[in-house]
Amino acid sequence: MSEAERRATESGRASVLASFRGMRFGVVGLAFLAVLLDGFDSASLSFVLPSLAEQWDVASADFTPAVVLTNIGVVLGYLASGRLAVRLGLRRMLIAGTVLFAAGSMATALVLPMQSLAALSTVRLITGIGLGVVLPGSVSLAAAHHPDEQRQSVSVTVTLGLAVGGTVAGVFGGSLLASVGATGVFWIGGALPLLLAVLMVRWLPAAPAPVAADRGPAAPGADDAAAASREARVGALFAPGLRAATVLLWVFAFLVFIASYTLQSWVPTLLTGYGFSASQAPIGLAFLSFGGVVGGIVLLLLAARRGIAFALMVMPVVGAVSMVAAATVGTDRAALLLALAGSGAGVTASQIGQLTLAVAMYPPATRTAGVGWAAALGRVGSIVGPATAGVLLALSLPGDDIVLLTAVPVVVAAVSAAVLWRLPHAADRTGGVEDAERTHREVAAR
């Protein structure tokens, strides 16, 4: 390693360490746990599907409506998050979302003994709405409690909860199925977020009041509420200086989520085609999600050294190469699981990174709407991907071919990130939040 490279590496490491100093770990911890339980619930449906298909004597593809409606609910929650943040405040919105998906998980446990696909799909739609509120609420609330230079680290840390929740579900999924069954999995998945909601009521602080330039904290009033409502609208994301970046961010999110949720929703089912039993299949989800945790850490280091837009150009390539490897390793289980870990690293890091870029790119007044809409466009991909994979499964397409096809949108996402990185107003190339806020103030002044 050259002296210049060594200094750059040390500078990046020092930047990451500095960003964690002074972090409000109570707020970050509660937000992280909310997202972790979000990830656990999303993964739970995935790892119980092979077992449910055996018990109900139906094809795994028959559960496609339940998978798709979960993601439709999440999209609805994301789209509502900006307005809900204005009406309820970030703290109450996050608590309400946590309670709603806890209730949905318990309702899932109640309807499973009915062996009704229609009932299961309905309660998963409700669960998804709660899940969709939790992620943008957690990221925005945690970011609001920290200065600009810490927000990328905070948002990555909180969003890593999704991958950690998936890892927990994958590692312990087989044991949970053996000990408490699919119904017990969802009872646990409902009880834990209810407990967390109680802790949030007690210890989670509200978001600090926004600070207006040269005027101190803004005083509440009708004009402020009207202005906040305007900033929560999607049109604010297309202000001059943000328009092109918003479009590219949405395209990137849509494509990355196609791959991420195709893998997350169907990997346990696909692994049964590789010879894994229903109780063994969750280990694939564990490798996929653990790779996502590692990928998130790599993203954090790479973003500190080269910027988040550059990191988003690199990580999808890692994911695409790993998916091609997973599709071509044949029956070598160790190689397959390692390739799935690499896929998770690239795709999950990209999924986390697009939210991190949204936090950096948008000013505080539009941040929740920006995060929510970016996540919502991504979740549209999370509907398209698993639904398409379900159709392909119903047509008896081999699992390795489905994984190979899933790599295609990831490659296109990398191209979109490269264009975004070259934009003169990309957040990490122009000072991030400060420039976005300056652009926003200039537009408002006009």
CATH number at residue 436: 1.20.1250.20
Residue 223 pLDDT: 44
Residue 138 pLDDT: 93
CB 167 within 8 A of CB 112: no
How do residues 258-296 score in pLDDT, each as one tens digit? Answer: 998 888 888 888 888 777 887 788 888 889 989 988 998
What is the maximum alpha-carbon separation in the chain? 67
Q: Is residue 230 part of a domain?
A: yes
User: Residue 211: beta bridge partners?
Assistant: 217
Question: Which ranges in 236-281 belong to alpha helices (H)?
Answer: 243-272
More confident site: 275 or 107:
107
* CA dist., res. 303 & res. 19, Å (int): 12
Query: Is pLDDT larger for residue 364 or for residue 50?
Result: 50
pLDDT at residue 435 greater than cutoff 70:
no
43 and 166 Cβ atoms separated by less than 8 Å: yes
Q: pLDDT value at position 424?
A: 64
- At 374, which amino acid appears? A
pLDDT digits (tens, 9 = 90+) for 310-319: 889 999 999 9
Question: Considering only 160-164, 322-326, 427-431, which range has the smallest mean pLDDT?
Answer: 427-431
What would the mean pLDDT of 166-183 be, rounded to a whole number? Answer: 90
pLDDT at site 171: 86
For residue 1, being part of any structural domain is answered with no
pLDDT at 409: 94
Q: Is 49 part of a structural domain of the chain?
A: yes
Mean pLDDT of 202-208: 87
pLDDT at 75 (0 to 100)? 84
What is the rounded average pLDDT of the residues 183-192?
96
pLDDT reading at 372 higher than 80: no
pLDDT score at 3: 52
Total domains in the chain come to 1
The pLDDT of 215-222, averaged and rounded, is 40
Q: Mean per-residue pLDDT for 221-246? A: 63
Do the domain assignments include residue 15?
Answer: no
The least confident of 136-150, 197-211, 243-257, 419-433 is 419-433
| Amino acid 21: pLDDT | 55
Give me the pLDDT at residue 333, please: 87
Q: Pairing between strand 216-217 and 211-212?
A: antiparallel
So what's the pLDDT on residue 8?
Answer: 47
Instruction: Give residue 207's region: left, alpha or beta (phi > 0; psi -120 to 50).
Output: beta
The per-residue pLDDT for 252 is: 94
DSSP state of 396: T
Q: What is the DSSP string of 81-130?
A: HHHHHHHH-HHHHHHHHHHHHHHHHHHHHHHGGGT-HHHHHHHHHHHHHH
Predicted confidence (pLDDT) at residue 227 exceeds the cutoff of 70: no
Mapping DSSP to helix (H, G, I), strand (E, B) and coil, where does residue 151 land?
helix
Is 215 within the bounds of a domain?
Answer: no
What is the tens place of the pLDDT at every residue in 393-416?
888 888 888 989 999 999 999 999
Per-residue model confidence (pLDDT) at position 60: 85
Mean pLDDT score of the chain: 81
Q: Whole domain around residue 58: which residue ranges?
A: 23-207+222-445
- pLDDT tens figures, 129-145: 999 999 889 988 998 88
Tell me whether residue 17 is in a domain.
no
pLDDT, greater one: 238 or 431: 238
H/E element holding 341? helix 333-361
In angstroms, rounded to a whole number, what is the distance separating the alpha carbons of residues 13 and 304?
7
Query: Helix (H, G, I), strand (E, B), or coil: what is residue 407?
Result: helix
Strand partners, 216: 212
Over 50: is that where the pLDDT of 97 sits? Answer: yes
- Chain-centre distance for alpha carbon 275: 30
Q: What is the pLDDT of residues 334-359, one digit of tens each?
A: 899 999 999 999 998 898 888 778 87
Share of the chain above pLDDT 70, in %: 84
In a domain, 217, yes or no: no
Among residues 88, 399, 427, the alpha carbon closest in space to that of 271 is found at 399
In a domain, 7, yes or no: no
